[in-house]
Amino acid sequence: MKLLWFHLMPYTDLPEDFTEKHPSVWVDIDSRLFDPLRAHEIYNEFMDELEFAAQSGFDGICVNEHHSNAYGLMPSPNLIAASLARRTRDAALVIMGNSLALYNPPIRVAEELAMLDCISGGRVVAGFPVGTPMDTCYAYGQNPSQLRQRYEEAHDLILKSWTEPEPFVWNGRFHKLRYVNPWPRPLQQPHPPVWIPGGGSVETWQWCARRDYVYSYLSYFGYKAGEATMRGFWREMERLGKDANPYRAGFLQFVGVAESRREALDLYREPAEYFYGRCLHVDPRFAAPPGYATEKTLRARVQSMVAQAAERAGNRHFFQQPDFESIVDRGYVIVGSPDEVAERLRAVATELNVGHLMLLMQFGNMRRPLAVHNTELFAKRVMPQLAGLFDDRWEDLWWPRPLPAERRAAVREGPR
Amino acid sequence: MSAPRERRARGPAVSAPRERSVEAAGLRFRIWEKGEGAPLGFLGGLRGLPRWPEVLDRLAASRRVIAPSLPGFPGALGHDALDGVPDWVCAVLDALEASGLEGADLVGASVGATLAAEVACFARASVRRLVLIAPFGLFDEREPVADVWAQRLSELPSLLSAEPAKLEAFLARPEGEDEVEWQIALTRASEAAARLLWPLGDLGLARRLHRIRAPTLLVWGARDRVVPASYAKRFADGISGWVEQKSIPDAGHMAEIDRPEAVADAILRFLGSG
């Protein structure tokens, strides 16, 4: 079992009347709500938290990519990862951006991830999301009808640039490069493990199976809503003749630990309601640019009454502000004492068969003391209860292979 | 389904066109045709031609109307192979030639008007006279084109049309059509339009408009909330040929759906009987 600590880096100071006064947290969010002095504080807090999680024994720390988004202040996850590469020693750096279609030429992504892999001594996981409609089609103006074609070409180009020893010519549909020969190249050979953050599309699952990549379901709606998706994923793996190695999968879950369940309900109410209210206040007009969903996905959606009902329910949750009781009831956030959280997470990991649990332990407007408290309690009293799960039967073939500690470069404070 | 019947009760009877299918450069196009006389091409708007609209029936009373479907719009596939203006212009030229419209008068609506204008820029001889109903393709930051792909579903009909009920009837699934496939076809049409126009900026057409020497009629719904009616002047200023302008009262962006009689009258008055 791998436990990963995931940061979204939400802006913590959206006003209380945000959902009434503003149409969207994303794309056209009012820039006057952004205070760079606050950002100076919280960026540093958030990076402290990621570093603290690494020191506390989490197997990996995760960053991701969003644009024009007040709940995700990481347009460039690579920048944050660069600092973490120097300030952490052993944790995997799980970089759940870059949205490949946004970079031209895409070898920029190959170069930056190779830099990070070299700096960190081979601790990088390369996450390649297609990216949400809000990020890609609206904030970054990509053509929704070309997005997947561009993503696929960028992926092929990056992988070839990591693995092809000679300089080569790329005469692609969207990119023409006479000399592809990135320097530096990744430390992990042939390349860092690739994880694909995705929604519930069968095509993504099939692609992950074909390429032997990790499929990572990054939903904000927890283990109950995610169960159908993960079951679908495993059914498809079985159909394609893949084994049930839980390390083929990643799954995101919000968690709040306290001494008791009652205390947890007190402590995490405000940040959870802030996240599921203000942070997920996304204007539906940015949800479905034509061509973003493939026809296969659309057809499955329209055909299946069950899926339709689920989608309606999903949309309702997504766009209507739930109170903390329903956030907890629906399993969006798992809260409780260390024993309760350990028991629940063990059940989630086992039932969804997920080897990489990606935990959001700072969320909404949670400040550093509580985030640190949550992380510390988890590391001391939950983590030991989950240690070793799956490892008697399965090997994680998708985990970074860093240099052994004795071969890693020293990080020195001064010039001596 | 009762909506089309009610609609017919209010307007003139709309009868089905002849349908044939042609292949050009590996793409298959549906061609709808009706009427006698000199050929008149029609390229549909943001949803293409999911059904034969009243405006074409009115034109078919005086002309032989030929409406080829374009890639990705109802009646044809293949938009996902087209990556930019030159690809689209080639596909439209293929469709025009395959349907017997080379050198004919050409009417386009919205995205179809954009393509008609592009064709007239790149291949002057392929168009005799041109009618453009509210084309996209130019952009003025002081008066931006509305983002038709960032709208709440409930607000879209009234953005596109001054008569949302007519638009809804135009898009309603006819009896006998599969519900799933009908929805997919309409979404695919939106995607095809987006494939050419996203994110609705200047297509580069401003630098080519002078190439249009065909006599041109610019038709605009006076209440177009998508491409403001003031864009008619921008097009008129750029085109080298003879230009007339006709504003259609009480019509929105899809003026040919909102006011089929007024739009058909304006077109026929400009083109005559051939």
- Mean of all residue pLDDT scores within chain A: 94
> Whose CA is closest to A317, among A395, A226, A233?
A226
Q: Residue B4 has what pLDDT?
A: 38
Question: Residue B3 above 80 pLDDT?
Answer: no
> Whose CA is closest to B215, among B107, B89, B131, B117?
B131
DSSP code of B76? B
DSSP code of A30? -
Cβ distance B190 to A290 less than 8 Å, yes or no, reads yes
Q: Residue B15 has what pLDDT?
A: 81
> Whose CA is closest to B163, among B152, B151, B173, B171?
B171
**CA gyration radius, chain A:** 21
Q: Residue A142 has what pLDDT?
A: 98
Shortest distance between the Cα of A303 and any Cα of chain B, in A, equals 7
Beta bridge partners of A216: A197, A250
Q: Residue A304 has what pLDDT?
A: 66
Cβ distance A144 to B79 less than 8 Å, yes or no, reads no
Residues in A closer than 8 angstroms to B184, CB to CB, are 295, 298-299, 302
Query: Among A145, A290, A302, whose Cβ lies nearest the Cβ of B80?
Result: A145
Mutate to test the interface with B, among A134, A137, A145, A150 (most CBs of B within 10 A): A145
**Which residues, including other chains, have CB under 8 Å from residue B155's CB and lie 6 or more apart?**
none
> Whose CA is closest to A379, among A41, A13, A127, A53?
A53
Across B225-252, average pLDDT:
97
Question: What's the CA dihedral at A361, A362, A366, A369 to 10 degrees?
Answer: 80
DSSP code of A287? S
Shortest distance between the Cα of A295 and any Cα of chain B, in A, equals 7
Q: Residue B7 has what pLDDT?
A: 40
Contact predicate A341/A378, CB 8 Å: yes
> Whose CA is closest to A217, among A196, A242, A187, A235?
A196
Copy the structure tokens of residue B32.
Answer: 């709808």
Interior/surface letters A79-99, b for 16+ CB within 10 angstroms, e for the rest: ebbbebbeebebbbbbbbbbb
Contact predicate B255/B173, CB 8 Å: no
pLDDT in tens, B247-268: 999 999 999 999 999 999 999 9
Element (DSSP H or E) covering residue B104? strand B104-109
- Residue A45 Ramachandran class (φ > 0 left, ψ -120 to 50 alpha, else beta): alpha
Q: Residue B125: pLDDT band by 50, 70, 90 thresholds? A: very high
Q: Tell me, what amino acid is at A176? A: K
Residue A284: half-sphere exposure toward Cβ, Cα within 13 Å: 13
User: Hey, where are the domains in chain A?
Assistant: 2-407
Residue whose pair of structure tokens reads 């992950």 in the numeric block: A208
Q: How far apart are CA A180 and CA A52, in angstroms?
A: 38
Q: Tell me, what amino acid is at A86? A: R
Q: How far apart are CA A270 and CA B43, in angstroms?
A: 55
In chain B, alpha helices (H): 3-10, 54-60, 85-98, 111-122, 156-160, 164-171, 179-197, 231-238, 255-258, 260-271
Indicate the burial class of A76 (C-beta count within 10 angstroms; 0-12, 13-18, 19 or more).
Answer: middle
Q: How far apart are CA B49 and CA B256, in angstroms?
A: 12
Contact predicate A384/A345, CB 8 Å: no
Search chain B and give the residue with CA nearest A296: B184
Q: How far apart are CA B82 and CA A183, in angstroms?
A: 34
Contact predicate A323/A273, CB 8 Å: yes
Question: Residue B171 above 50 pLDDT?
Answer: yes
For residue A337, what are the CA distances in angstroms to A262, A342, B268?
A: 9, 8, 78
Across B27-55, average pLDDT:
96
Q: Residue B12: pLDDT band by 50, 70, 90 thresholds? A: low
Residue B169: half-sphere exposure toward Cβ, Cα within 13 Å: 19
- Residue A402 Ramachandran class (φ > 0 left, ψ -120 to 50 alpha, else beta): beta
Contact predicate A128/A204, CB 8 Å: no
Max mean pLDDT among A33-42, B5-14, B18-27 falls in A33-42
Residue whose pair of structure tokens reads 């959206």 in the numeric block: A14
Search chain B and give the residue with CA nearest A300: B180
Q: Residue A334 has what pLDDT?
A: 98
Contact predicate B32/B59, CB 8 Å: no
CATH of domain A2-407: 3.20.20.30
Give the count of beta carbons closer than 10 Å to the beta carbon of residue B2: 8
Cβ distance B149 to A298 less than 8 Å, yes or no, reads no
Residues in B closer than 8 angstroms to A137, CB to CB, are 198-199
Cβ distance B194 to A302 less than 8 Å, yes or no, reads no
Question: Residue A319 above 60 pLDDT?
Answer: no
| Pair type for strands A249-257 and A356-360 | parallel
For residue A127, what are the CA distances in angstroms to A199, A213, B233, B255?
A: 14, 10, 49, 47
- Residue B84 touches partner A, C-beta closer than 8 Å: no
Question: Residue A352 above 80 pLDDT?
Answer: yes
Q: Residue A416 has what pLDDT?
A: 64
Residues in B closer than 8 angstroms to A143, CB to CB, are 194-195, 198-199
**Which residues, including other chains, have CB under 8 Å from residue A239's CB and lie 6 or more apart?**
none
Shortest distance between the Cα of A24 and any Cα of chain B, in A, equals 12
> Whose CA is closest to B42, among B24, B23, B17, B10?
B17
Search chain B and give the residue with CA nearest A141: B199
Cβ distance A146 to B193 less than 8 Å, yes or no, reads no
Question: Residue A118 above 60 pLDDT?
Answer: yes
pLDDT in tens, A245-282: 999 999 999 999 999 999 999 999 999 999 999 999 99
Q: Residue B29: pLDDT band by 50, 70, 90 thresholds? A: very high
Q: Residue A413: pLDDT band by 50, 70, 90 thresholds? A: confident
Contact predicate A281/A322, CB 8 Å: no
Cβ distance A143 to B188 less than 8 Å, yes or no, reads no
Of chain A, the end-to-end C-alpha distance in Å amounts to 40
Across B89-105, average pLDDT:
97
Across B40-65, average pLDDT:
97
Question: Residue B222 above 50 pLDDT?
Answer: yes
Give the count of beta carbons closer than 10 Å to the beta carbon of residue B119: 25
| Residue with more model confidence, A314 or B107 | B107
Cβ distance B184 to A174 less than 8 Å, yes or no, reads no
- Residue B151 touches partner A, C-beta closer than 8 Å: yes
Copy the structure tokens of residue B266.
Answer: 């304006």
pLDDT in tens, A94-112: 999 999 999 999 999 999 9
Q: Residue A202 has what pLDDT?
A: 87
Question: Residue B78 above 60 pLDDT?
Answer: yes
Question: Residue A20 above 50 pLDDT?
Answer: yes
- Residue A286 touches partner B, C-beta closer than 8 Å: yes
Residues in B closer than 8 angstroms to A151, CB to CB, are none
**Which residues, including other chains, have CB under 8 Å from residue A122's CB and lie 6 or more apart?**
A186, A187, A188, A192, A400, A401, A402, A403
Residues in B closer than 8 angstroms to A172, CB to CB, are none
Is pTM beyond 0.90 here?
A: yes
Residue A56 φ then ψ, to 5° = -80, -5
Copy the structure tokens of residue A4.
Answer: 């990963």
Question: Residue A306 above 50 pLDDT?
Answer: no
Domain B3-271 has CATH 3.40.50.1820: yes
